[in-house]
Homo-oligomer: A and B are copies of this chain.
Amino acid sequence: MGIFRIGIAGIGIMGTFHADAITSGAIQGAKLAAICDSSAELLGKSRSRYGEQVAYYGSAEEMMTSGEIDGILVATPHYDHPQLAIQAFAHGLHVLIEKPAGVYTKNVREMNEAAKASGKVFAIMYNQRLNPMYQKLRELIESGELGEIRRTNWIVTNWYRTQSYYNMGSWRATWKGEGGGVLINQCPHQLDLWHWTTLLTPKRIRAHCQFGKHRSIEVENEVTAYVEYENGASGVFVTSTAESPGTNRFEVAGSRGKIVIENGKMSFSQLRQSESEFNAACTNPFGSPECWNIDIPVPPGDGPQHKGILQNWTNAVLNGEPLIAPGQEGIHGLMLSNAMLLSTWTDQWVDFPIDEERFYNELQQRIRMSESRQEAVR
C-alpha cells in the first residue's frame, strides 16, 4: 500500500477539522478517500469543500464496504465510537477513534477485543500525548528522576462553559445525548494523561460529582475524586466547568522530589538523595533532604497534536511505526470517568477494574429518566 486511504465517519466540527488536515497535504502518505454522515446537509457542505476527489456516503456501512478506504477515522458522537469501530474491524479496516473511547467500558472492552482479533491498526485521538510538557513529565517519571510516586494532584477547573454553551444543542450535557458532562466531554485528555504520565492505575476511587452546578444541566460539571494506587500512593483530581478563571495545575510528588506543571511551566524540586534514604539515616528531628529547584526546559508550544496522531496512525499502517496512543488504551481514562460517576451514584468506593455491568445499568436508568427532560429542553 503506497497511499493510506482514509474515510471519515461523521463530518461535524472535529470531522471537518481532520478532513482539512488530510486534504491540506499535511499528513504524508495519507489521502482523504471518503466521508460518511447521516446528515445530507453536512455531506453537501463537505462536497463543496472537498470536491469530487472524495466519495460521499449516507451511512458508515456503505463507506466501509465501498472498497474505497483502508482505514476509518471515527468522529461521530461519543456513544457511536465502539460500535462503528467494531463494524470497521469486521470489514478489515484500520481504525482511529476520536476521544472518548466510548461512554461506558462495557462496549469499549468489546471494541478492544474486536481490534485485537482483527490485527488491524487501532489508535485513539489522544493528541495531548504529543504535548511536549506531558511527554517530558512521562519521561522524567519513567526514567526514575522523580523516584517512586507518592501523591498526585490535578486541579483542572479551566473548562469554563456558559449556559449558552449547553443550550447550543439539546443533546449536550444530557445522559441520553452525551452520557455525562465534564468527565466525558472536557476531561478525557487529562484523565488519560493522569494515567499515562504517572504510569499508575488506581486500586480504588472515591469521587464526588456535583450535577448541574450553577448551570441548568442534568450531568456532572464539578468533580472531586480521590484515588489510592496499588503502591500506596494517593491522588486527587478536581475539575469544573463553572469556575472562572479556572486553574490547571498538575502536581506529582515522589520519593525524589516534586514536579509541578502550571502556567505552561514545569518546575522540578529534586532531592539529591531519596526521601526514604534520607529518612533512614537522618538523626536531626527537623532535618530535611537537600532540594534543588529546577526549571525543566520544555520545547514551547503544544506539539503536533491532532496532525501528529494522524501521521502516526498513517505511519503505523504503512511502515509499522509504534503507536503513540493505541486505541486499546482509551479504556483507562474512560474507566476513571465511569468510576467517578459510579462512586457518586452509589456513594461508595469503587474498586478497579470497575463493575462494568453495574455502571452500564446505572447509566441506563439515567438515560431513561433523562428523556422527558430532553423534550423539555427542546
Using CB atoms and an 8 Å cutoff, list the residues of chain A in contact with chain B.
Answer: 150-151, 153, 155, 157, 160-165, 168, 206, 208, 210, 213-215, 222, 224, 226, 228, 232, 234, 236, 238, 240, 242-245, 247, 251, 253, 257-258, 260, 269, 271, 275-276, 278-280, 282-289, 291, 347, 349
- A153 touching B214 by the CB < 8 A rule? no
In the complex, which residues of chain B have a beta carbon less than 8 angstroms from the beta carbon of A215?
279
**Contact A240-B151, Cβ < 8 Å, known A213-B232, A214-B276:** yes
List B contacts of A245 (CB < 8 A): 257-258, 269, 271, 288, 291
B282 touches A162 (CB 8 A): yes
**SS class, residues of chain A in contact with chain B:** mixed
Contact of A153 among B155, B161, B276 (CB under 8 A): B155
Per a CB cutoff under 8 Å, which of B162, B208, B257, B284 touches A226?
A: B208
Q: Establish whether residues A162 and B234, one from each chain, have CB atoms under 8 Å apart when the complex forms.
A: no
Q: Which residues of B contact A210 (CB under 8 A)?
A: 232, 234
Closest beta carbon of chain B to A109's beta carbon, Å = 29
Known: A214-B279, A243-B150, A275-B242. A165 touches B286 (CB 8 A): yes
Report chain B residues within 8 Å CB of A238: 151, 153, 236
Cα A288 to Cα B162 with chains together (Å): 8
Shortest Cβ distance from residue A215 to the other chain B in the assembled complex, whole angstroms: 8
A271 and B286 form a contact (CB under 8 A): no
- Shortest beta-carbon distance from A202 to chain B in Å: 13
Q: Which chain B positions have C-beta within 8 A of A150? A: 214, 242-243
